[in-house]
Structure 1
Amino acid sequence: MRCSLAALLRATVVLGLVVFSCHTAEGEEVSVKKNEASIDVLVGDKLFTTYHFKSGAKPVLWPIHGPHELEMTRAYPLREGDKGEATDHIHQRSFWFTHGDVDGVSFWHETEGHGNIVQKELVKAEGGDVATIVTKNDWQNATGEKLLEDQRTLRFGVDPSGRYIDFDIVLTASEKDVKFGDTKEGMFGIRVAESMRADIKDAAKKGRIFNSEGQINDAAWGKPAAWVDYSGLVKDQQVGIAILNHPTSFRHPTHWHVRTYGLFAANPFGLHDFKAVTEGDGSHVLKKGESIAFRYRVLFHEGDEKKGDIVSAWNRYVK
């Protein structure tokens, strides 16, 4: 952390909550504020996002503010009643990481018998040139039996293209062998703002999916790609969300469960569902004591993938 002593001394106690902050290289301040069941992340004096220790069956980030302080992900079901907002797929909660088949247990859905990801420890929450949150979590079945554990590291900063969130997660088979099944219902997901959807009938308002291979909208579904960008309108401003899959991430380049109705997910396991294999499937057995790691950068930017210069953003990320 490259903070000056003066910046460190600006850590203050406000209403019993500790706020840690210092300045980014771009001249904006990144800080975190600990609440009872969540952590706020601020850029300057503006809320970037809030990390909720649990919503439904898992930890999530919501709201997420991008360019012009616009909310970039769907509010439902964390906030209900927004005009014109779809209420399908209650489990698609803004920004999350789960999987639909872990030893036969779905952590993706919120239906009978679903699994739960339970935070066991908040390891770190601090401001810096890049603010950082680290947590440890248990993956439990419906009866509370622990199947595996994760440690996730989230970093929040400002890139020349916009605000970003780095999401690194290590899954460990701490209890026994664990099988991740081949299903399209996974894994690292975002539900984009309703007005950004690529299936809007009005061509002038329709959003667009574009990946690193030049595939657009439905053609990008199930395909491997280093990155995918989902752009559209939010309050008449054209903005975009890009997810970059780091080369060191498990099964890079990942396949993408990205839909024109607004689901935006990276999934390395759904190979049979994606018709990416003709024999066998994409399942993976993690032996007891073994770990696998997934790494993503999520960039919230102006315009489409060209205006956001996602190619340059990708090059910065992999370096």
Structure 2
Amino acid sequence: MKTRALPLVVLAALLAPVSVLRAAANEVKLTRSPDRVRVEIGGKLFTEYCFKDVPRPFLYPVLAADGTEMTRNYPMKKGVPGEVEDHPHHRSLWFTHGDVNGIDFWAEGSDKKGKIVSESVDASSQGGTGVVKARNKWVGPDGTVHLTDETTIRFHGTADARFIDYEVTLKAPAGKPVIFGDTKEGSMAIRLPLWMTPSHSQGRGKKHEGKGTIINAEGITNDATWGKKSTWVDYHAPKDGKVYGVAMFDHPKNPRHPTWWHVRTYALFAANPFGKHDFENLKNEPKAGEMTLPAGGSLTFRWRFYFHTGDEKAAKVAAQYAAYAAGK
């Protein structure tokens, strides 16, 4: 018995360091500072949750497992070679909406726009998962609070992938309902770098020759994905001999699941459950996608971002979505 047990003991001793190293490589560390929360996985920067003195909270930068930048730098960092400096309200990765009680919280740069103001931020991590819990108030130009939210963002990763689970619970004030207007300008969004895009017009007769691909769960690609309903969309492209991608998953319990997608070939990528008349070209029904949250009521949305290597097949995006839908 002893001679048989010895090899098992030796094997266990050899395997233990491997499991410890694997756990360390995926360990999530969150560091809070006055204006942001830094998220590291395996000792490497993944992203930062930026929340102070900004038009709305956002995640920037967002890096792949090997450090490749997966979102645009502008407007947080200007003058980056190869970047198109348009739509300054496209801040890396964020949640908002373009019509809340008639106020635009999507755009910025005007005193007529709304702002999402941070009230509190808590950060914690345990082993392979990091969690940011935030409370925000949606403030109109005159200082009126139209809405509050409780946002929970979970971070985890593997050797070659990164995940962000974004959950937001929207709460109406006790004495007034909240109306989410029907507009394409929303809602859970990410602005990708130019190198990820398919070929597309840049206006004024200019065209960008891109190598990227947009594809949804139904196999529809590129421009044709805009305004379609789908459980997931994947955006991927080659860079330096390797393919990188990001898929966004719409949770099956979300209102109006599967959602419509405000996804553009110039690198805007957003899930929008409110923009029905824009997406379905219902010109005579401008309020078709409007949603009213009763006074004192709440509404919860959930999405997952999956940052991967390979195209949607190599990254097994459909299987990853199935796991997410099953609660994994």
> Smaller-chain TM-score range?
0.7 to 0.9
Cα distance per residue 1:245-287 (max 9 Å; x no partner): 1101121101000000000000010000011657551001111
Larger Rg: 2
| Residue matched to 1:162 | 161
Q: Is the 8 A contact 2:262 2:268 kept in 1?
A: yes
Which letter does structure 1 place at the counterpart of 2:191? Answer: R
Unaligned runs of 5+ in 1: 1-21
Helix, strand or coil at the partner of 1:315: helix
Shift of 1:125: 3.1
CA distance in 1, matches of 2:53, 2:236: 26
| Residue matched to 2:77 | 79
Q: Of residues 269, 275, 286 in structure 2, which corresponds to 1:270? A: 275
CA distance in 1, matches of 2:53, 2:235: 24
Shift of 1:159: 5.1
Q: Of residues 287, 291, 294 in structure 1, which corresponds to 2:294? A: 287
Which letter does structure 2 place at the counterpart of 1:310? Answer: V
| Residue matched to 1:181 | 181
Shift of 1:124: 3.7
| Residue matched to 1:128 | 127
| Residue matched to 1:302 | 309
CA distance in 2, matches of 1:23, 1:42: 16
Helix, strand or coil at the partner of 1:272: helix
CA distance in 1, matches of 2:37, 2:120: 13
Which letter does structure 2 place at the counterpart of 1:107? Answer: F
| Residue matched to 1:318 | 325
Q: Of residues 209, 215, 218 in structure 2, which corresponds to 1:213? A: 218
Equivalent residue pairs, number: 297
CA distance in 1, matches of 2:159, 2:227: 30
> Cα RMSD (Å) of the superposition?
2.0
> Percent identity of the aligned residues?
42
Helix, strand or coil at the partner of 1:313: helix
Q: Which has the higher helix share?
A: 2
CA distance in 2, matches of 1:23, 1:80: 38
Which letter does structure 2 place at the counterpart of 1:309? Answer: K
TM-score where L is the length of structure 2: 0.86
Shift of 1:185: 0.2
| Residue matched to 1:115 | 114
TM-score where L is the length of structure 1: 0.88
Shift of 1:23: 8.5
CA distance in 2, matches of 1:82, 1:32: 27
Unaligned runs of 5+ in 2: 1-19, 201-206
